[in-house]
Amino acid sequence: MYKRRSATKYRGVLNFLKRRLHYKKKINQIICVLIILILIFILKRLNNNLSSNIIQIIDNSIRYDFSIKKDGRVILDYGKKLLILPEKALSVINLKNNPKYLPPIEGAIYNPFGQIKYLDGSTSFNEGVDVIPKEGKEPISIEEGIVRKIEDKKTKGYFISIEHQNMTTVYGYLVSVYVTEGEKVVQGTKIGSLGTNKDGNKYLHFEIWVDNRPVDPSNYVNFSQKL
């Protein structure tokens, strides 16, 4: 009888210690996630190539370290959700710091920036936005710059790249071009005209590149502004 009680008491103590260790491990993992989030927030505020590379390394490390641990799967999912919050918050902060340029054309965004899912299940990444222009409008340069490249993409029409002080803008789906390579343009310069698609609509494809990577034009351009 005494031995049975001792064994029961021993198992109770052992289970208690296991629970303590389990909770301690979870708490440590949560602390690690919070530290990483704070570090990412600071690095994002720096907004340069080095910080972007470090953030990518951290992100890859998070995905690897936690994905191989079954007991950390719940924290991984929660941590990934938390990672989205600083990104959205930083977008709001960046919007206050970045000037809002004139839209390249007056109209409504048809396809937004980012991954697009089609009805057949396929996906593609849109490096800019596609705009359905207001009738009679033609695309303009959103800022002073130099025309660096004019490319004929056959069925997609002409694509014009204009280099500005801190970014490069790209204008696509043009049926005709009003500028030449090497030409200096100012804000509001008409750069070309749009052709009619097979669905009867006209579209302008517009991209913004910063540090050799595409960014969401909606964070830089006020598309609701009338011209």
Residue 42 φ then ψ, to 5°: -65, -45
- What pLDDT is attached to residue 45? 55
pLDDT at 177 over 80: yes
Distance, CA of 141 to CA of 164 (rounded, Å): 10
pLDDT at 52 over 60: no
Distance, CA of 41 to CA of 143 (rounded, Å): 30
Residue 133 and residue 107 in contact, taking contact as beta carbons nearer than 8 Å: yes
Residue 138 φ then ψ, to 5°: -125, 150
Q: Which CATH superfamily is domain 107-219 in?
A: Glucose Permease (Domain IIA) (2.70.70.10)
Q: For residue 194, what is the enclosing H or E element? A: strand 192-194
Q: Which residues contact 202 (CB under 8 A, 6 or more apart)?
A: 132, 133, 173, 194, 195, 196
Residue 195 one-letter amino acid: G
For residue 70, CA distances in Å to 27, 120, 207 come to 16, 34, 41
Q: For residue 4, what is the enclosing H or E element? A: helix 2-46
pLDDT, tens digit, for every residue of 107-135?
Answer: 999 899 999 887 888 889 999 999 999 88
Residue 6 one-letter amino acid: S
Beta bridge partners of 159: 151
Q: Where are the domains of the chain?
A: 2-97, 107-219
Distance, CA of 88 to CA of 15 (rounded, Å): 42
pLDDT at 191 over 70: yes
Residue 127 and residue 207 in contact, taking contact as beta carbons nearer than 8 Å: yes
- For residue 74, give the 3-state DSSP assignment: helix
pTM > 0.75: yes or no: no
- Residue 164 pLDDT level (bands cut at 50, 70, 90): very high
**More confident position, 34 or 152:** 152
- What pLDDT is attached to residue 49? 44
